[in-house]
Amino acid sequence: MKNANKYAVTFRFGLQHALEYRSNFFLSLISAFVPAVVQYYIWSTVYKSYNDTTLFGYSYEQMIAYTILAAVVSKLVMTNMEHAVSNDIKTGGLNRYLIQPISYFGFRLCHYFGQKLLYIIGFIVIITLILFVSPASRQLEHEPERIVIFILSIVMAMIISFLLSFAVSAIAFWLADISYFFVVTSLVINVVSGGMFPLELFGEGFRSAISVLPFYYMIYWPVNVWTGIIPSSELWLGLLWQLGWSVVLGGVAYMSWKLGFKRYLGLGG
Amino acid sequence: MEHIIEVKQLTKAFTYYKKDTGIIHSFKNLIHRNSLTKMAVEDVSFSIRQGEMVGFLGPNGAGKSTTLKMLSGILHPTSGSATVMGYTPWKRHKDFKQQFSIVMGQKSQLWPDLPAADSIYLNKCIYQVEQDSYQRTLDELTDMLGVRDLLHVQVRRLSLGERMKMELIASLIHRPKLLFLDEPTIGLDLLAQKAIRQFLRHYNEQTNATIILTSHYMKDIEDLCPRVILIQGGRITYDGELQDVNAEYGDKRIMKLQFHEHVEREILLPFGNVLHHDGITAVIELESSNIADSSRQLLELLPVSDVLIAEIGAEEGIEALFQRQS
């Protein structure tokens, strides 16, 4: 038998980890849906009482599609790995990646995608359901190009989010106890990425300000590729923005870890 | 035989902050912190040959772990040099990483949620061990440690001793030439300690691997390491054969006394160095040339109910050395 790749094994470990905590997985899916269901009823009432066809530029169908998809995409994209990484830094868990021929970055990346595999499957199921079952989405037009870009944009959003988390976690090299900092950052990132509401709700100025930042491309943009809010002419441009931000964040993550390792004490044990 | 490790004037300084107790000082520290420098390892030099088993001994915080961390490339030294298997460890060359292992008794490298077999398999992939050799090594190590049945049990369900055995297997699956062990028997019961010692000796004999060990259990060192390096306050205070530690105490004897009524410490002082005294029992260190005279006098003068005269063992020898240095 040929040697399996160490990163493939790490990917499998991530999946096994997710399976080990299946109840946790199902609970987190439910936790994504409860606010979505609440929002569904709120928006239904709001649209009925206003008798408007669009609010904030969204038709009723678009708003519902956004609400459901944003909940799922934010579960898919958010890494929640800051705690694990900062813990590795704080307690010396990083040591083994310094003494073994394996890169910590590669390890975390594969573990993250492995852990998200269940979500990816769940996500595909939900998308298919929405596409074929939900009456709301029949109103939305999905030309093939849009669907391809939607899938690509989700993958890119996962990469951006991973790099952002990885760069942010490097703060643990300088500050020893920052668990609350990470609770705050992940909440803020979720909101400004459009994980709760469409960014238009905060005003057009806010939306266009955010639109040059990576958060915009983590949830809001991929979801609105689906809803059709993003015009066809801007599809490829957005993908280019995602690519650009991946490169920039990759560079930031690389530099912050390089500096961090210089400070690293290898504590514990 | 060639030297596998050459260390020259290795020094590591840590800066840290001092804070007095109390909330006022916590606030003061927000504004201005007194930065202090601690020499964790200072001017340490030694060399180790292929196949040697060397024990690092020293009190807590003496610099043992820091030295191991520099030799394995986890830490950069402040100054000095080290060559390990021809490489500078902190350059972290891939070929260097391929040839050694470090086991930290207090830091697990196994995945708690997965069976140990999975973590061991990951190491096989990391070190790119061939399937044949992997299977052979795994069979051999699990049989030697008697943990074959436990390979497929989740690591967090294993006992501390069982987990330690799995750590060893995971660390040795790529047959490293050099093994650093930082307190491998910490917290283990006597039987498990013994099993691990036997295993390490066997592994050393079989593969001629170099093993460097730190431990607080004197028995570990006595059993395994002909050579010891004593580290205190970041400096080497002794480097040589374990049996020679006692050489300078060779002409000394330990006398353990039991009295049937209270005896003042002052009365014992003229006879020798009083190592221990609580009124009813006492331990005195004496010159062996004086032993006959002293014991006669002691028995005549004092209400002695029991007496035991012994040579200074390795443990007492090292203890005495530690006390003298500090």
Task: Round the average pLDDT of chain A to a whole number and report it.
Answer: 85
Q: Write down the pLDDT at residue B1.
A: 54
- CA of B106 vs chain A CAs: smallest distance (Å): 5
Of B121, B126, B129, which has the smallest distance from its Cβ to A100's Cβ? B126
Question: Is A20's Cβ below 8 Å from some Cβ in B?
Answer: yes
Give tens-digit pLDDT for B116-171.
Answer: 999 999 999 999 999 999 999 999 999 988 899 999 999 999 998 899 999 999 99
Q: Answer yes or no: is pLDDT of A143 > 50.
A: yes
Chain B: closest CA distance from residue A162 (Å): 22
**Residue A212 touches chain B, beta carbons under 8 Å:** no
CB pair distance less than 8 Å for B113 and A101: no
Judging contacts by C-beta atoms under 8 Å, the chain B residues touching residue A16 are 113-114, 118
Dihedral, A75, A135, A62, A217 alpha carbons, nearest 10 = 30
User: pLDDT by residue (tens digit) across A154-178?
Assistant: 999 999 999 999 999 988 888 877 7
What single string gives the DSSP state of each residue in B103-170? EETTB--S-TTSBHHHHHHHHHHHTT--HHHHHHHHHHHHHHHT-GGGTTSBGGGS-HHHHHHHHHHH
- pLDDT at residue number A265: 62
Provide mean pLDDT across the span B24-47: 81
- Pick from A9, A10, A268: CB nearest B106: A268
Distance (Å) of CA B254 to CA B1, B284, B289, B316: 39, 6, 13, 9
Is residue B274's pLDDT more than 70?
yes
| Residues of chain B with C-beta less than 8 angstroms from the C-beta of A4 | 125
Beta strands B53-57 and B210-214 are: parallel
B102–A99 C-beta distance less than 8 A: yes
Record: contact B94-A101, CB cut-off 8 A: yes
**CA closest to B99 among chain A residues:** A100
- Predicted interface score ipTM higher than 0.85: no
- Topology alike, domains B3-245 and B247-325: no
Q: Is A96 on the interface with B (CB under 8 A)?
A: yes
pLDDT at B326 over 70: no
User: Using alpha carbons only, what angle is made at residue B76 by residues B70 and B81, rounded to the nearest 5 degrees?
Assistant: 70
Kindly report the CATH number that applies to the domain delimited by B247-325: 3.30.70.250
State the DSSP string of A103-136. Answer: -HHHHHHHHHHHHHHHHHHHHHHHHHHHHHT-HH
Among chain B, residues having any CB pair with chain A shorter than 8 Å are 14, 65, 69, 72-75, 92, 94, 97-98, 100-102, 104-107, 109, 111, 113-114, 118, 121-131, 182
d(CA B103, CA B170): 9
Q: For residues B106 and B183, is the Cβ–Cβ distance under 8 A?
A: yes
Helices (H), chain B: 23-31, 64-71, 94-97, 116-126, 131-145, 160-172, 190-207, 218-224, 242-245, 265-268, 291-301, 314-325
> Span A4-19, mean pLDDT?
86
The alpha carbon of residue B21 is apart from the nearest alpha carbon of chain A, in Å, by 19
Judging contacts by C-beta atoms under 8 Å, the chain B residues touching residue A3 are: 124-125, 128-131
Which chain A positions have a beta carbon within 8 Å of B92's beta carbon?
A: 98-99
Third-level CATH fold of B3-245: Rossmann fold (3.40.50)
Out of A95, A102, A265, closest to residue B126 by CB = A102
Give the gap in angstroms from C-alpha B121 to the nearest C-alpha of chain A. 8
What is the C-alpha separation between A168 and A83, in angstroms, rounded?
A: 11
Which residue is closest to B131 within chain A, CA to CA? A1
Quick check: B73 and A99 CB within 8 A?
A: yes
Contact yes or no for B142/B115 (Cβ under 8 A): no
- Residue A185, exposed/middle/buried by CB under 10 A (0-12, 13-18, 19+)? middle
Mean pLDDT of B91-97: 91
Question: Rounded mean pLDDT of chain B?
Answer: 86
pLDDT digits (tens, 9 = 90+) for A90-127: 887 888 888 899 889 999 999 999 988 888 888 788 77
Contact assessment for residue B176 and residue B99, using Cβ atoms and an 8 Å cutoff: yes
B-chain CB neighbours of A100 within 8 Å are 97, 123, 126-127
Contact A95 B74 (CB under 8 A): yes
CB-based contact B97 A95, cutoff 8 Å: no
**What is the nearest CA distance from B277 to chain A, expressed in angstroms?**
36
Which sequence spans correspond to the domains of chain B? 3-245, 247-325
